[in-house]
Amino acid sequence: MEFISDLQGTPPSPSPLSGRDCLTLAEFDPAEIALILDEALRIKTLQRSRIPYRPLRGRTLAMVFQKPSNRTRVSFEVGMYQLGGHALHLSPEEIQIGKRETPSDTGRVLARYIDAIMVRTFDHGDLEELAGAADVPVINGLSDAHHPCQALADLLTVREEFGGLEGEKIAYVGDGNNVAHSLAIACALTGAGLTIAHPEGHGPDEEVVRLAGKLGAAPRLTEDPSEAANGARVIYTDVWASMGQEAEAAERKEKFAPYQVDEELMGLAAEDAIFLHCLPAHRGEEVTAGVIDGPRSRVFDQAENRLHAQKALLYLLLG
Ligand code: CP
Ligand code: NVA
């Protein structure tokens, strides 16, 4: 038997999430999110103990990338390998979503070869169309609107640090972007309290805020970073210009300058507060080198947790 049951409990079999997509995390209820995080911790413990665990032998994941990536590409590819399966990297040279063929034809064709599809793309609508046509699980590896796998790793990191999520005070300071959206949905589903501090005109999408409200609790919104940071246990930021917004980078730099996470802002947070960033980071812009390379930073644990969270997700969607 490959799974050592007295180490970390028994994996659910058959998986209650079998065959499902993960496009925003809103597909899941709180118990299902908790299950993914529990599985991630179990799989992490197995890996740390060097216990082989290969439930996805013979299964294949297609990874469709329309934007660059370090963490997402490597963690999905390595994760699939560690689970006994195989991952296939498809760059824009091979697949141009919506250009060479429709997103739905791409999804239907891939599903004939492949057991699950991970997609990193621009338009979230393309992803929905592809997922609607593919009768295998589709995982969002980042779209302009959502980054659900990131949020799973974020919450895993917070849970490991503080032992739980319910009532934890998280401050996201910066652009109300894909990372902020997924964090809002994840917090709503886990009872963590999120405040988003953003410059005027750069708040999260109203629809996502409403959705988070329906799922549990809407994030608090403010334009004052100090108000968000005050007493928070987690201070989180992301780049000011996301992939695809390069032309706005200079203008945004000026507008977002008061939202830099620096030592002073961290000083307003709880004494044991941690700093998170999805990475890649721009030192001297959204965060100072002192903070991201300082003792409160958990950004590399957070990056590692992408691997464990996604292995859990793959196992549960393909189980
Ligand atoms: N955080 C994240 O998704 O990183 P990559 O863009 O490198 O995949
Ligand atoms: N908001 C960033 C996240 C990168 C992981 C982007 O979309 O570029």
Query: Could you read off the pLDDT of 205-234 as tens digits, one per residue?
Result: 999 999 999 999 999 999 999 999 999 999
Residues 6+ apart with CB under 8 A from 286: 174, 237, 238, 239, 240, 256, 259, 260, 261, 277
Ligand 2 atom at shortest distance from the alpha carbon of 243 = 8
Q: Considering only CA atoms, which residue is closest to atom 1 of ligand 2? A: 242
Catalytic, 71? Answer: no
Instruction: Yes or no: say if 66 and 91 are a contact pair by the CB < 8 Å rule.
Output: no
Q: Considering only CA atoms, which residue is closest to atom 2 of ligand 2? A: 242
State how far the Cα of 266 lies from the Cα of 290, in Å rounded to an integer.
11
Question: Are 30-147+306-318 and 148-302 the same fold in CATH?
Answer: yes
Confidence label for 276 from pLDDT (cuts 50, 70 and 90): very high
Q: What is the mean pLDDT of the chain?
A: 96
Residue 215: phi and psi, rounded to 5, are -80, -20
Among 3.40.190.10, 3.30.70.100, 3.40.50.300, 3.40.50.1370, name the CATH number for the domain at 30-147+306-318: 3.40.50.1370
- The rounded percent of the chain whose pLDDT value lies above 70 is 97
Structure tokens at 36: 């993914």
Name the residue ranges covered by the structural domains of the chain: 30-147+306-318, 148-302
Among 3.40.50.300, 3.40.50.720, 3.40.50.1370, 3.60.15.10, name the CATH number for the domain at 148-302: 3.40.50.1370
Considering the entire predicted model, what is its pTM?
A: 0.96
Cα radius of gyration (the chain): 19
**Residue 39 CA to its chain's centroid (Å):** 16
Query: Could you read off the pLDDT of 128-140 as tens digits, one per residue?
Result: 999 999 999 999 9
Ligand 2 binding pocket includes 75 (Cβ within 6 Å): no
Catalytic, 66? Answer: no
Q: 313: closest CA among 22, 23, 3, 26?
A: 22
* Position 157, amino acid: T
State how far the Cα of 134 lies from the Cα of 236, in Å rounded to an integer.
34
Residues 6+ apart with CB under 8 A from 123: 97, 98, 143, 144
State how far the Cα of 277 lies from the Cα of 282, in Å rounded to an integer.
10
Catalytic, 149? Answer: no
Confidence label for 1 from pLDDT (cuts 50, 70 and 90): very low
Structure tokens at 213: 């409200």
Tell me which residues have their CB closer than 6 angstroms to ligand 1: 69-72, 142, 150, 278-280
Q: 305: closest CA among 262, 266, 276, 263?
A: 276
Instruction: Yes or no: say if 107 and 117 are a contact pair by the CB < 8 Å rule.
Output: yes
What count of other Cβ atoms lies within 10 Å of the Cβ of residue 130?
A: 28
Residue 283: phi and psi, rounded to 5, are -60, 135
- The bound ligand whose nearest atom lies closest to the alpha carbon of 68 is 1
Ligand 2 binding pocket includes 66 (Cβ within 6 Å): no
Instruction: Yes or no: say if 310 and 79 are a contact pair by the CB < 8 Å rule.
Output: yes
